[in-house]
Structure 1
Amino acid sequence: MKTSNNTILITGGSAGIGLATAKAFLEKGNEVIITGRDAKRLEQAATQLPGVHTLVSDVSSEAAVDELVNTIRTKFPKLNVLINNAGYAAYHTLAVGEESWKEAEKEIYTNYISVVRLTEKLLPILHQQPAAAVVNVSSITAYAPGLRIPTYSASKAALNSYSKILRLSLQDTNIKVFELMPPLVNTDFSAVIGGAANGIPPGEVAADLLNSMEQDVYSIHTGKTAAIYDLLKESPTAALNALNGVTA
């Protein structure tokens, strides 16, 4: 997959991995559109990304998604790369009284259902291009769930399953499907679980994504994620314990 001269939509592009990915693609000569719910954060992002297009949009709102798709259809008809990066995570445990189902509902809707909806609505535009791609930003917790992000992990497991079957469904078309699994990243999103101290820079994730897309590596395991994935093949229990710092 070429990583230049594309028209790219990145959801949740105002900060973190989304912002770093937008920067990396802009530097490669792509037209990049980023979305986010917060207009001020998008404005701040635009000051760091000369030439980027910003659209205020909430992936969890069906009306907002329909408006976004109409805007893409009319203003960016050459869109050929969709990066589903927007996400939501709640940090909690499954202890009695936590009401985890409330967070699970938000996470499954934002991290899974919203991705399915936006992707489905943009597929007709992607099909019109000579070459196209969908990138879903997932998590290694899809395979080895985290104690402090249990329902987030479950939502990413759903996204992982969807990514695999979408790739299979589109294998004879012009659309390639990539799944990016970052490790702990130094972003505001993961600060509460140690991202600031132990996470890698989001730019490393973006660089790995571009490199993997150029080589048509469809399942992208960045940084320590690769080690957990390798361990998973040997022992799912060992991978689960390693991710959660549990000694057997």
Structure 2
Amino acid sequence: MKTSKNTILITGGGSGIGFETAKLLSQQGNTVIITGRNEEKLKAATQQLKDVHYIVADVTKEDDVNALIEKINQDFPDLNVLMNNAGLVFLHNVGTSANAAALAREEMDTNYFAVVNLTTKLLPQLKKQPEAAVINVSSIVAFAPGLSLPTYSASKAALHSYTQALRLSVASDTNVKVFELMPPLVDTEFAKDIPSDSKISPQEVAEDLVRSLETNHYEIRVASTEQLYSNFLSQADKAVFALNRLEQN
């Protein structure tokens, strides 16, 4: 897929992986639109970038999504790439948390249902373009759950399955390519409360994404995700223990 002269919408684009991807793609001659709930953060991001626009929108709110779609149709009719990057995570123990169900609903709403909703609403526009793409940002925990982020892991597993189904469903009769970006733990504000000494930079993730777009590599398992994926395919139970650095009895 070409990585220049696209019009790209990135949800959660004000920081982290979304910001670094917007930065890299804007430098390559693309028009980039970033969305998020925090207008100050979006303004600050666009001031640092070239040919990047922002639209304030909460992807979990139907009115915001409808207004976003209307704005895109009006101002960016050539939109041909959607990157579903916005995410939410709560750290808790599913075995002891009294409000696990409430946290689960919020995470699933942001990380899964909002992705399906926005993608469904934008697909008609994407299908009109000579070449288009949907990029879903899932995670290493789509394959093996992190003990401190149980529903986040479940939401990413659901997103992984949805992405595969979407790819197969549009492959035969559209120009829409469907990519899945699966980073390990990344050193961002999003993951600041998750303890780890092996976080990678968001720049590394963005660079890997762009390389994979150029070669139509649809499942982008960044850094240590590749090894965990191999473990998952061969010995799924060991993958869970390896991710959480636990000894298997």
TM range (shorter): over 0.9
Distance 1:96 1:16 in 2: 30
1:239 correspondence with 2:249: no
Tell me the residue number matched to 1:142: 142
- Matched residue type, 2:92: H
- Matched residue type, 2:122: L
Tell me the residue number matched to 1:216: 216
SS at match of 2:110: helix
1:161 correspondence with 2:161: yes
Give matches, 1:171-182, under 5 Å.
171-172=171-172, 173-182=174-183
Tell me the residue number matched to 2:10: 10
1:74 correspondence with 2:53: no
Aligned pair count reads 247
TM-score, with normalisation over the residues of structure 2? Answer: 0.97
1:207 correspondence with 2:229: no
Which consecutive segments of 4 or more residues in structure 1 shift more than 6 A? none
User: Does structure 1 conserve the Cα–Cα contact (< 8 Å) formed by 2:27 and 2:50?
Assistant: no
Give matches, 1:58-207, under 5 Å.
58-172=58-172, 173-194=174-195, 197-207=197-207
Deviation at 1:198, TM superposition (A): 2.6
- Matched residue type, 1:15: S
- Matched residue type, 1:177: V
Structure 2: which 5+ residue stretches go unaligned? none
Deviation at 1:50, TM superposition (A): 2.5
Deviation at 1:233, TM superposition (A): 1.4
Structure 1: which 5+ residue stretches go unaligned? none
User: Does structure 1 conserve the Cα–Cα contact (< 8 Å) formed by 2:30 and 2:51?
Assistant: no
Distance 2:89 2:96 in 1: 19
SS at match of 2:192: helix
SS at match of 1:35: strand
SS at match of 1:82: strand
User: Does structure 2 conserve the Cα–Cα contact (< 8 Å) formed by 1:92 and 1:98?
Assistant: no
1:136-187 residue CA offsets vs partner (Å, 9 max, x unmatched)? 0001211101100001111111111100000000011110000000011000
User: Does structure 2 conserve the Cα–Cα contact (< 8 Å) formed by 1:60 and 1:109?
Assistant: yes
- Matched residue type, 1:206: A
Tell me the residue number matched to 1:19: 19
Deviation at 1:69, TM superposition (A): 0.3
Distance 2:34 2:97 in 1: 38
Identity among equivalent positions (%) equals 51
Superposed CA RMSD in Å reads 0.9
